[in-house]
A and B are shown apart, each in its own frame.
Chain A
């Protein structure tokens, strides 16, 4: 917490409110600000000055505009004069002219430049002075600022002050320069000069100016990639540098970060390599240019770890486009002892991530199908990364093995990923000096030799990838770091996706109950060229040894214990971690397993008010994605979705929920449709929310809508469900008037209403159930729900054949007259609304509906009569009569389409 009176003033604005010279005087007496008492006033005291200073931001910007437009300038009337941008600019101009003096240098370094950093863009009119400093000043600290500001002028490409700088807003300099007729400086005026000066510096091979050369190159990369001339020039400079220093004769000295030791020449060389490859990484990738690949491949052997990182990132990018060339160019580097393999131990996480991605691309490349030896070489490097000390790298390796690369993978790739993870074996390539046989013998005979690092020890015997991944994940879930938990849960989620894909494709031999080592045989038969005979034997032996302790080493066993840890992670107080865990569990849920546990977890979670609505909707979308992967889970998923609807109605986007309903219903197939519709509409059977009375109940089937806002949201959900029911009941019930098996006007219609209902429900329970629900909603819901229910009913009436249409007709008729009210009075729950003269308040809505049905029945009677007449008289239909029929049909269609869509 900021403290004391002093801190009240420490805002961005205070950084610049005070004239440079005053501060200079003050700061010479006390270099660091006197620490004020930490027992300061509460922070609320600081609010006011802050708001005031926010106001100043505006004033200041105006002051800038005014200062640049001196005619209208009004003198500032504040006690503490803020340093306006204009004053800062003036100081820079003045101090640049006297930059040889120590005092000027100090001013620039300690006051002017730091203050300028607060603004979100740099006035191009400062460029001439900056360039002057660039040429004349020798103070490195000042020069560093000069490069910083020059780079920012170069990067302000849109010239609207919207550069990524942030800070106090600045005006559109170019526009201001336009207003200011005399001597206005625009970006266009200065950028060519800046580029010229920096380019010549970046090309300067003089060792004296080595550091400046690196800084100039870096500053140049700030230029926008759309400026093709400059980009071409940059390519030229970068490739020119790499031409001279790119070739690494001596090997990188391993494991030493930053201190390569060595002589001056090799340091300079290394620095140039780093700067050039870093710049290259920021330039647009040009896959057609062979120099790109060539230089990046050289980069793998650079001494600078960050240089290696960028080189690998470039290679990995190129590999996705042209795997074959990359694999050929890497050649020896990828063999044991090669520079690429050395990256496994390079002290740079991002470099190893790129290595994983590169190896994944090459080990899966179709273009390398002819060269299984090369593919397995890269696969082996990828598998070794499972032992990486960094969680980030290990997780990347797991994701790559699972077939998750970007988000464009096909189901087949993900399925293959699951098979890979569960079957493949990590075999460390033998060190060239020891023969494989000796090695395995000594391993079998003696306890492993002590080694400094644990992964090295573990890796000595072949290990199933799955086991390594499971162990690693389990230990990550014991971490206290939220990012680690979140990432681990995400990896489990991706595992679930690959597993679901494998199940969906029905890949043969997914038997999660078998011992892991049996898979090693399969794996070896797949890539037998990896092993010579003795090694296979040895690895199998080692495996059966390592799998000595019973049935825990089945995939199912390992997964089970992992999921146990995953479930306990739901206790994490970070809601984002919990969301990721739930997503992971949804993906790891198998269709044939009980989902009670998952349901309970979710129901319990949703009672927590801390969940942001965006996050809940993301989980709903996960259900949606899960359904698409496994349509067989429709009902399970709908039941889970219902928990969301009832537990957190206020936070659920009705559109997202409807999307889920719809996809599940359509995807559930002929057998599942009924159950799917039931699962959706069960929402309607829930007791209406009664504010206040529900507290304390946490049952899944109870609605939690204790506040008015969620009660309202619940009502919207119910409306959505009612609408959904009306729209989809016919589909779910496969009942359409135009496909109905029984012709209209049969004996059914002669029955009285009760018998009719009974007959109807025995014929099509789905539709009958839907009708019952809708009828209940049509008079016992709130009026919004009643309206939607009436609309849903008419939709079904129009689409259904008899007796449903007649049943609805009767119901609506009674409803319009208020007659049903007595009939259903025992069901009537008072909702505190005036029901109106018509009994339900729906009269005006229902009468046009009844009219349509009347029209339909009248037309139907006419048609039957006509048909009978024609049949009796053995008459042919005349054109006139047919035309009339057609017109009636069209007219009815028009009427009907006011209410719903019919084909």
Chain B
């Protein structure tokens, strides 16, 4: 189960979050836990360098892309490596939409389309589309395989 996908800016303000199967009272903990992880480790990190953490049987993989920190949280089959796949799908879609690692401004300019991409990549707590061209087609309401 993919429990959460979070985007924050470098100051730790949350830009986008998608939770699945996390009770609302626990979300606050996750937000602060993740943002603190990022604040402690992502300073000076390279774009798309992957970081890992775990808490009991829950895994966390996070990275930075431009000015935006991306965190994914999962359990069971979504272990560190599966989450690395998820984060790769997300970063490639974001880079595609923003045409480069985004500044915060560009990210917010493209906010709507990023939400649509995310909708195609993560669907009800599961990873769906990973190929960026396919995501690109789907957010324009074109079928996955062109007719």
Cα distance A113–B41 in the bound complex, in angstroms = 35
CB distance from B49 to the nearest CB of A (A): 9
Q: Which residues of A contact B41 (CB under 8 A)?
A: 574
**Contact between chains at B131 and A10 (CB < 8 Å):** no
**Contact between chains at B15 and A2 (CB < 8 Å):** no
Q: In the complex where A11-B13, A164-B20 touch, is A3 in contact with B103 (Cβ < 8 A)?
A: yes
Cα distance A407–B56 in the bound complex, in angstroms = 13
Interface string of A244-278 (1 = CB under 8 A from B): 00000000000001111000100110110010001
Cα distance A33–B105 in the bound complex, in angstroms = 8
Cα distance A853–B97 in the bound complex, in angstroms = 81
Cα distance A148–B120 in the bound complex, in angstroms = 10
CB distance from B29 to the nearest CB of A (A): 11
Q: Does residue B65 face the partner (Cβ distance < 8 Å to A)?
A: no
**Contact between chains at B50 and A353 (CB < 8 Å):** no
Q: Which residues of A contact B19 (CB under 8 A)?
A: 164, 166
**Contact between chains at A143 and B141 (CB < 8 Å):** yes
Main SS at interface, chain A = helix
Cα distance A90–B29 in the bound complex, in angstroms = 36
**Contact between chains at A304 and B140 (CB < 8 Å):** no
CB distance from B109 to the nearest CB of A (A): 6
**Contact between chains at A482 and B52 (CB < 8 Å):** yes
Cα distance A722–B83 in the bound complex, in angstroms = 45
Q: In the complex where A144-B140, A211-B141 touch, is A576 in contact with B147 (Cβ < 8 A)?
A: no
Q: Does residue B108 face the partner (Cβ distance < 8 Å to A)?
A: yes
**Contact between chains at A483 and B115 (CB < 8 Å):** no
Interface string of B1-25 (1 = CB under 8 A from A): 0000010011101111111100010
CB distance from B87 to the nearest CB of A (A): 9
Interface string of A207-224 (1 = CB under 8 A from B): 100111011001001100
**Contact between chains at A267 and B145 (CB < 8 Å):** yes
Interface string of A471-513 (1 = CB under 8 A from B): 0000000000111111100100000000000000000000000
Binding-face segment, A42-50, A185-193, A597-605, A883-891? A42-50
Cα distance A148–B123 in the bound complex, in angstroms = 12
**Partner among B9, B10, B80 whose Cβ is within 8 Å of the Cβ of A483:** B80
Cα distance A207–B147 in the bound complex, in angstroms = 9
**Partner among A54, A214, A274, A576 whose Cβ is within 8 Å of the Cβ of B52:** A576
A116 and chain B: residue at smallest CB distance: B112
**Partner among B81, B128, B141 whose Cβ is within 8 Å of the Cβ of A306:** B128
Interface string of A140-178 (1 = CB under 8 A from B): 110111011001000000000010111100000000000
**Contact between chains at A15 and B108 (CB < 8 Å):** yes
**Partner among B84, B106, B108, B128 whose Cβ is within 8 Å of the Cβ of A481:** B84
Interface string of A5-37 (1 = CB under 8 A from B): 011001110110000000000000000110000
Q: Which residues of B contact A113 (CB under 8 A)?
A: 112
Q: Which residues of A contact B81 (CB under 8 A)?
A: 390-392, 395, 483-484, 487
Q: Which residues of B contact A140 (CB under 8 A)?
A: 140-142
Q: Which residues of A contact B59 (CB under 8 A)?
A: 486
**Contact between chains at B134 and A353 (CB < 8 Å):** no
Cα distance A304–B129 in the bound complex, in angstroms = 11
**Partner among B79, B83, B85, B123 whose Cβ is within 8 Å of the Cβ of A218:** B123
B103 and chain A: residue at smallest CB distance: A2
Cα distance A490–B146 in the bound complex, in angstroms = 41
Q: Which residues of B contact A406 (CB under 8 A)?
A: 76
Q: In the complex where A482-B52, A483-B84 touch, is A271 in contact with B145 (Cβ < 8 A)?
A: yes
**Contact between chains at A2 and B141 (CB < 8 Å):** no
* Interface size band for B: 35 or more
**Contact between chains at A6 and B112 (CB < 8 Å):** no
Q: Does residue A281 face the partner (Cβ distance < 8 Å to B)?
A: yes
**Contact between chains at A2 and B9 (CB < 8 Å):** yes
Interface string of A366-397 (1 = CB under 8 A from B): 00000000000000000000000011100110
Q: Does residue A350 face the partner (Cβ distance < 8 Å to B)?
A: yes
Q: Which residues of A contact B53 (CB under 8 A)?
A: 576
**Contact between chains at B141 and A117 (CB < 8 Å):** no
Q: Which residues of B contact A54 (CB under 8 A)?
A: 13
**Partner among B11, B55, B84, B142 whose Cβ is within 8 Å of the Cβ of A614:** B55
Q: In the complex where A6-B105, A164-B19, A484-B81 touch, is A304 in contact with B145 (Cβ < 8 A)?
A: yes
**Partner among B57, B82, B106, B139 whose Cβ is within 8 Å of the Cβ of A392:** B82
A485 and chain B: residue at smallest CB distance: B52
CB distance from B115 to the nearest CB of A (A): 4
A10 and chain B: residue at smallest CB distance: B105
Q: Which residues of B contact A282 (CB under 8 A)?
A: 123-124, 126
Q: Which residues of B contact A144 (CB under 8 A)?
A: 116, 138-141
CB distance from B112 to the nearest CB of A (A): 3
Q: Which residues of A contact B116 (CB under 8 A)?
A: 144-145, 148
CB distance from B108 to the nearest CB of A (A): 5
Interface string of B78-106 (1 = CB under 8 A from A): 01111111000000000000000001111
Q: Which residues of B contact A147 (CB under 8 A)?
A: 141
**Partner among A117, A268, A274, A481 whose Cβ is within 8 Å of the Cβ of B111:** A117
Cα distance A281–B126 in the bound complex, in angstroms = 10
B51 and chain A: residue at smallest CB distance: A482
Cα distance A44–B124 in the bound complex, in angstroms = 37
**Contact between chains at B131 and A257 (CB < 8 Å):** yes
Cα distance A11–B123 in the bound complex, in angstroms = 26
Q: Does residue A580 face the partner (Cβ distance < 8 Å to B)?
A: yes
Cα distance A141–B136 in the bound complex, in angstroms = 11
Q: In the complex where A164-B19, A483-B50 touch, is A212 in contact with B141 (Cβ < 8 A)?
A: yes
**Partner among A164, A214, A614 whose Cβ is within 8 Å of the Cβ of B143:** A214
**Contact between chains at B17 and A166 (CB < 8 Å):** yes
**Partner among B112, B123, B146 whose Cβ is within 8 Å of the Cβ of A114:** B112
Q: In the complex where A1-B67, A114-B111, A281-B126 touch, is A353 in contact with B11 (Cβ < 8 A)?
A: no
**Partner among B10, B16, B105, B142 whose Cβ is within 8 Å of the Cβ of A167:** B16
**Contact between chains at A349 and B82 (CB < 8 Å):** yes
A407 and chain B: residue at smallest CB distance: B57
Q: Does residue A322 face the partner (Cβ distance < 8 Å to B)?
A: no
Q: Does residue A618 face the partner (Cβ distance < 8 Å to B)?
A: yes
CB distance from B133 to the nearest CB of A (A): 7
Cα distance A148–B116 in the bound complex, in angstroms = 7
Q: Does residue A563 face the partner (Cβ distance < 8 Å to B)?
A: no
B78 and chain A: residue at smallest CB distance: A350
**Partner among B13, B18, B82, B128 whose Cβ is within 8 Å of the Cβ of A278:** B128
A211 and chain B: residue at smallest CB distance: B143
A303 and chain B: residue at smallest CB distance: B145
Q: In the complex where A271-B143, A483-B84 touch, is A12 in contact with B108 (Cβ < 8 A)?
A: yes
Q: Which residues of B contact A165 (CB under 8 A)?
A: 18
**Contact between chains at A574 and B51 (CB < 8 Å):** yes
**Contact between chains at B141 and A221 (CB < 8 Å):** no
**Contact between chains at A267 and B105 (CB < 8 Å):** no
**Contact between chains at A46 and B141 (CB < 8 Å):** no
Q: Does residue A319 face the partner (Cβ distance < 8 Å to B)?
A: no
**Partner among B56, B76, B80, B108 whose Cβ is within 8 Å of the Cβ of A10:** B108
Q: Which residues of A contact B111 (CB under 8 A)?
A: 15, 114, 117-118
B4 and chain A: residue at smallest CB distance: A164
CB distance from A127 to the nearest CB of B (A): 18
Q: In the complex where A7-B105, A483-B83 touch, is A2 in contact with B10 (Cβ < 8 A)?
A: yes
**Contact between chains at B82 and A353 (CB < 8 Å):** yes
Q: Does residue B32 face the partner (Cβ distance < 8 Å to A)?
A: no
Cα distance A6–B123 in the bound complex, in angstroms = 34
20 A-B pairs with C-beta separation under 8 A: A2-B10, A3-B103, A7-B103, A33-B106, A114-B110, A141-B140, A144-B140, A166-B18, A258-B145, A270-B145, A271-B144, A278-B123, A282-B123, A349-B85, A350-B85, A392-B79, A396-B77, A486-B52, A487-B81, A618-B56
**Known interface pairs A46-B11, A166-B18; 6 further A-B residue pairs with C-beta atoms within 8 A, sorted by A's residue number:** A12-B108, A15-B108, A306-B129, A350-B77, A407-B57, A614-B55
Q: Which residues of A contact B (CB under 8 A)?
A: 1-3, 6-7, 10-12, 14-15, 32-33, 43, 46-47, 50, 54, 113-118, 140-141, 143-145, 147-148, 151, 162, 164-167, 207, 210-212, 214-215, 218, 221-222, 257-260, 264, 267-268, 270-271, 274, 278, 281-282, 303-304, 306, 349-350, 353, 390-392, 395-396, 406-407, 481-487, 490, 574, 576-577, 579-580, 614, 618
